[in-house]
Amino acid sequence: MIFAGAIMAILIYLLHLSVAVSKLHYQNRVLSQELVLLREKLERKERTRVQEPIESAGEEPLLAPDGTIAMKYRLFRLNAWFCMERMESALAANAS
């Protein structure tokens, strides 16, 4: 009787593990599908994003399709500012 109860407990535990693994497998599949859809959406957005022409370095910021300033333009401006600061401090150090 005890032996039969132990076997029954083991079978119930194995059934529980099987259900848990099936649930995790389903969630993993759904998550993978969502990841692929998000990746495709991101690639589509990158292909349709307005790119800054090289010749336009004016004061007017380039707008991305969602209305925000494009990251490329901001990084360009930040890099230009940083280079100017370094040149000015080097010139000030040489003048002293």
Would you state the pLDDT for residue 9? Answer: 95
Say yes or no to pLDDT of 59 above 60.
no
Q: What is the mean pLDDT of residues 66-81?
A: 63
CB 61 within 8 A of CB 52: no
Would you state the pLDDT for residue 52? Answer: 47
φ, ψ of residue 69 in degrees (nearest 5): -70, 135
Q: Per the structure block, which two tokens stand in for 52?
A: 């800054």
Which among 51, 42, 93, 96 has a CA at the least distance from the CA of 76?
51
How does pLDDT run across 6-45, given as a tens digit for each residue?
999 999 999 999 999 999 999 999 999 999 988 888 888 8
Would you state the pLDDT for residue 19? Answer: 94
